[in-house]
Amino acid sequence: MDLGNKMDLENIEKQVYSLVVQLMEKHSLRKGDIFVVGCSSSEISGGNIGKNSNADVGKAVFAGASQACAEKDVFLACQCCEHLNRALVVERECENFKIEVLKNDKNGSVRLYAARALGELGDVNATTPLIESLREDRNVDVRVRAARALGRLGGKEVVEPLVEALCAAPNKNE
């Protein structure tokens, strides 16, 4: 593959777009869901993993995946390589959306999954909304998931709310 050739990069972008659209349809992704892409630009360009990284290939993959996700209002997360501890990189808006869902959705199951996602995203900006859910959500399962998410996030500010929750009598679900 001649990656200096603009046509090859456009082909990669189109193929990624098509694949992402097919996967989102097959798995019924909806607005607010997260689609994760993890791949090797080295392997896409015909080399060995980690030996032939190519920023242009990465840009083509991102362009195709982000276009497909944007059309469905699905968030795109990119998984880094092992050199970056396979970290997930997501848009800030993804976290903001999950916080709004955690605070406002009427469905306890939806709030539960929002709390889980916020813990997995690992951004300390979610700490305050998770503490509020731990203390105030009427669904015990959401409170448990908020506690787990806070445990993942860590920090001094989560200790007191977690201890309070541990000592509190369990409340019934909504």
Query: pLDDT tens, 46-91?
Result: 888 878 888 899 999 999 999 999 999 999 988 877 666 677 788 8
Extract the tokens encoding 108: 């306890």
pLDDT given at position 152: 93
Of 129, 127, 135, the residue nearest 151 (C-alpha): 127
pLDDT digits (tens, 9 = 90+) for 140-170: 999 999 999 999 999 999 999 999 998 986 6
Both structure tokens of 59: 């840009």
In the block, which residue shows the tokens 């991102």?
62
Domain topology for 6-90: Rossmann fold (3.40.50)
- Are 76 and 83 in contact, with CB atoms under 8 Å apart? no
Fold of the domain spanning 92-167: Leucine-rich Repeat Variant (1.25.10)
In this structure, are strands 88-90 and 75-79 parallel, antiparallel, or unpaired?
antiparallel
The predicted structure's pLDDT at residue 39: 85
* Residue with token string 């509190």: 168
CA–CA dist 99, 171 (Å, integer) = 23
Q: What DSSP designation does 172 have?
A: P
Q: Domain residues of the chain, as ranges?
A: 6-90, 92-167
In the predicted structure, residue 104 carries a pLDDT above the cut 60: yes
